Amino acid sequence: MERRVYNFGAGPATLPLPVLKEAQRELLNFRASGMSVLELSHRSSWFSEIIETAQANLRTLLNVPEHYHILFLQGGASLQFSMLALNLLHSSSPPADYVVTGTWGNKALAEAQRQGQVNVAWDGKAEGYTRVPEQQELSLNADATYVHFTSNETIQGVQFQHAPLVGGVPLVCDLSSDFLSRPLEVERYALLYGGAQKNVGGAGVTIVIVRDDVLATMPEDTPSMLNYRLLAEKNSLYNTPPTFAIYVVMLVTGWLLEEVGGLERMDELNRQKAQVLYEAIDHSQGFYRGHAQGDSRSSMNVTWRLRDTALEAAFVQQAQARDLVQLKGHRSVGGIRASIYNAMPSEGVQALRDFMDEFAKQNG
Amino acid sequence: MERRVYNFGAGPATLPLPVLKEAQRELLNFRASGMSVLELSHRSSWFSEIIETAQANLRTLLNVPEHYHILFLQGGASLQFSMLALNLLHSSSPPADYVVTGTWGNKALAEAQRQGQVNVAWDGKAEGYTRVPEQQELSLNADATYVHFTSNETIQGVQFQHAPLVGGVPLVCDLSSDFLSRPLEVERYALLYGGAQKNVGGAGVTIVIVRDDVLATMPEDTPSMLNYRLLAEKNSLYNTPPTFAIYVVMLVTGWLLEEVGGLERMDELNRQKAQVLYEAIDHSQGFYRGHAQGDSRSSMNVTWRLRDTALEAAFVQQAQARDLVQLKGHRSVGGIRASIYNAMPSEGVQALRDFMDEFAKQNG
């Protein structure tokens, strides 16, 4: 048996062990093809089956209606920040509304500002990005080109429980760090996107789900690789897609369907895991202090400080000695962050909880 | 022993067997980290070592001087077609000169035309893209913003033996399908780029080698992910890079250094392999007809037709029955194409040659 740690890293993140074993088993010979998955032509029937299965799995898991395309692109959410604005926000467009609940929302906003007019519909900065807004706090424009929000802020650990209500305005969402962690009402969105390297696979593929009516005819100067319409027409095969990364998405979505049993069950498990850690924080008599407030607490990235911040380095180090790794908070905010994506087993969360209790007892 | 075919596909293409075995061995546990390579944080010391080793290997193999950055990007050569023009060719710039020797050169040209003024310095279309130009055929402008050419045309099988002479004009080259197949005088170039999925790894990472003085300060409306200067400053870690794809590049470049012994030896082996197939074509008394002319023949993609084109489907099918796979020419040109990149063993080429001789005898 290979050594295996509990990896609480925010992404690239822990993957389901059965997925890794399957990828390992097939690495030299994909389904008796005599070739590695890495060696399959993206135009081969072998790879067609991979990409079609990955799409079908996503469609089933999320109930994606037929009038949405599912694309496998490259460049991460960071390229999507620009690409969605290039495609949706033209120089003559009314402003797009951006709801900013943390670091990634800010980055999305900054890239959109390069392409067109934007309006900040809400920004949690003054409160240190500890919560998502209430509906009535949003300054939304009825004629906005679109509304953008970040479903889960990976760094701050702040998550929306419900998407903002936006009337008829197209809703756009960065789902990078809670994609496939729970059910989703896809019909409410014009465009959804997320890097795969949290819940859906390895780094190197970005999943975009886009409603057909949003696929505009683009200006002549749009680079082909940034043109959703063209990429949708070519079913993500305009050029060579990241074949291995898409293969891993196929395996992970297959695991979600067949071994977990779908997103409702996954959501239940994720909430249970998060509850274990939030209780450990709340019952620590102030030794641990959660960053996010109440309903805004993320079930993906649990973030907290120690009352005595000087102890945080020791916390991370001692946890690591027990194979509880990658618990250091993002360098921009400090503290502790436990990312407990789909593939983190409850045993890992329990081991972390036990360590937290013990560390608090020894140092409290 | 796993079944293994000889894969003559143009890319994603065959990889060295020792690389695949190493990737398989480490897939569950990278160097006793207790994590898969797919699970490593891109900010971890584990991954730092991977990306730095991959860069160092490339620097050693190609003798890349210190005043060049080596970047690992996403989106393939197709995104580079746009990105290089966005970075180098501004609206006020003099035209860029494009030398077009096949399908990919045309695509590069078309994307550059979206961004600025271009001049076609030579186009082999009238001759069916069967050769590269002589130096004196090129209509180069001394004040061109840059000169762009495609080192090896994957579809037509047409390859430059020597880069065009361009005086002081910055030279830009798409090396996707012969990158690392032979030594390269990097100092002659301002910018080199190529997708990894031929000679360097799997699909999903694009390698860019760029001279520092070319890294311009970009206009404010440039998307961050398309800004070479920013990506170079961040050493390809502006956002999450395609970690697994970079890991495979590290393994392949390590194999080239340690097992092959460098690019001069690789070049020698590649020329020997190509010679075997071109001789089989030339000695077939017209049964096989090579596409590319003389010195323009590619040592990476050998392309030919059968005198009786109606036999081509049978050729591909019977070859496949002998585990010589992916020999069908690109759908845009037809015929036969044998891609014999670095990782294709000479035994594979000899097996193909034997089959060619036999097929010609039976059907000639």
The partner residues of A336 in beta bridges, in order of sequence, read: A304, A328
Per-residue burial over A87-126, b if 16 or more Cβ lie within 10 Å, else e, is: bbbeeebbbbbbbbbbbbbbbbbebbbbbbbbbbbbbbee
> Tokens 């392309």 appear where?
B303
Taking CB atoms and an 8 Å limit, are A203 and B42 in contact across chains? yes
pLDDT of residue B332: 82
pLDDT of residue B329: 95
What predicted TM-score, i.e. pTM, was given to this entire model?
0.98
| Minimal C-alpha gap between A127 and chain B (Å) | 26
Angle, helix B346-363 to helix B263-282, in steps of 10 degrees: 10
The minimal CB distance from B39 to the residues A12, A114, A225 is found for A12
Q: Which residues of B touch A224 (CB under 8 A)?
A: 78, 81-82, 111
Taking CB atoms and an 8 Å limit, are B223 and A77 in contact across chains? no
DSSP result, A21-86 = HHHHHHSS-GGGSSS-GGG--TTSHHHHHHHHHHHHHHHHHHT--TTEEEEEESSHHHHHHHHHHH
pLDDT of residue B134: 98
Given a cut of 90, is residue A67 above it in pLDDT?
Answer: yes
Taking CB atoms and an 8 Å limit, are A34 and B323 in contact across chains? yes
Mean pLDDT throughout A228-234?
A: 96
Taking CB atoms and an 8 Å limit, are A82 and B223 in contact across chains? yes
Sorted by sequence, the CB contacts under 8 Å of residue B323 that are 6+ apart come out as A34, B5, B6
pLDDT of residue B217: 82
- Binned average pLDDT, 10 residues per bin, chain B of 364 residues: 90 97 96 95 96 98 98 98 95 95 98 97 97 98 98 98 97 98 98 96 97 89 95 96 98 98 98 98 97 97 97 98 96 92 98 98 94
Taking CB atoms and an 8 Å limit, are B4 and A224 in contact across chains? no
pLDDT of residue B345: 97
Question: Which chain B residue has its CA at the smallest distance from A202's CA?
Answer: B38
Q: Which of B46, B198, B273, B304 is catalytic?
A: B198
Question: Using CB atoms within 10 A of its CB, is residue B219 exposed (0-12), middle (13-18) or buried (19+)?
Answer: exposed
Say whether B255 is catalytic: no
pLDDT of residue A15: 98
The two beta strands, B6-7 and B324-325, are: parallel
pLDDT of residue B91: 84
Could you give the maximum distance between any two Cα atoms of chain A, in Å?
A: 65
pLDDT of residue A77: 98
Taking CB atoms and an 8 Å limit, are A34 and B202 in contact across chains? no
Top residue of A37, A225, A337 to mutate, by most chain B CBs within 10 Å, is A225
Q: Which residues of A touch B239 (CB under 8 A)?
A: 76-78
Say whether A198 is catalytic: yes
| Minimal C-alpha gap between B134 and chain A (Å) | 30
Compute, in degrees rounded to 10, the torsion defined by CA atoms B299, B300, B306, B311.
150
pLDDT of residue A216: 81
Q: What is the CA radius of gyration of chain B?
A: 21
- Contact criterion met (CB below 8 Å) for A286 and A318: no
Given a cut of 70, is residue A7 above it in pLDDT?
Answer: yes
- pLDDT bracket for residue A218 (50, 70, 90): confident
Peptide bond between residue A170 and the one before it cis (omega within 30 degrees of 0) = no
The minimal CB distance from B15 to the residues A33, A39, A221 is found for A39
Q: Which of A46, A104, A122, A255 is catalytic?
A: A104
Among the listed residues B69, B56, B65, the one whose alpha carbon sits nearest the alpha carbon of residue B253: B56
Among the listed residues A218, A154, A208, A158, the one whose alpha carbon sits nearest the alpha carbon of residue A186: A208
- Contact criterion met (CB below 8 Å) for A245 and A201: yes
- pLDDT bracket for residue A245 (50, 70, 90): very high
Q: Which residues of B touch A15 (CB under 8 A)?
A: 36, 38-39
Taking CB atoms and an 8 Å limit, are A242 and B243 in contact across chains? no
SS3 content of chain A, % helix, strand, coil (to 5): 40, 15, 40
Distance CA A200, CA A231 (A): 21
Domains defined along chain B, listed by start: 17-260 (3.40.640.10), 262-363 (3.90.1150.10)
Mean pLDDT throughout A285-290?
A: 97
Taking CB atoms and an 8 Å limit, are A15 and B9 in contact across chains? no
Given a cut of 80, is residue A28 above it in pLDDT?
Answer: yes
Mean pLDDT throughout A137-161?
A: 98
| Minimal C-alpha gap between A185 and chain B (Å) | 28
| Minimal C-alpha gap between A225 and chain B (Å) | 6
Question: Which chain A residue has its CA at the smallest distance from B344's CA?
Answer: A39
pLDDT of residue A286: 97
Distance CA B279, CA A315 (A): 68
Given a cut of 70, is residue A37 above it in pLDDT?
Answer: yes
Mean pLDDT throughout A39-64?
A: 97
pLDDT of residue A1: 59
Given a cut of 80, is residue A354 above it in pLDDT?
Answer: yes
Distance CA A49, CA A29 (A): 16
Say whether B328 is catalytic: no
Three-class secondary structure of residue A253 per DSSP: helix
pLDDT tens readout for residues A166-210 = 999 999 999 999 999 999 999 999 999 999 999 999 999 999 999
Three-class secondary structure of residue A337 per DSSP: strand
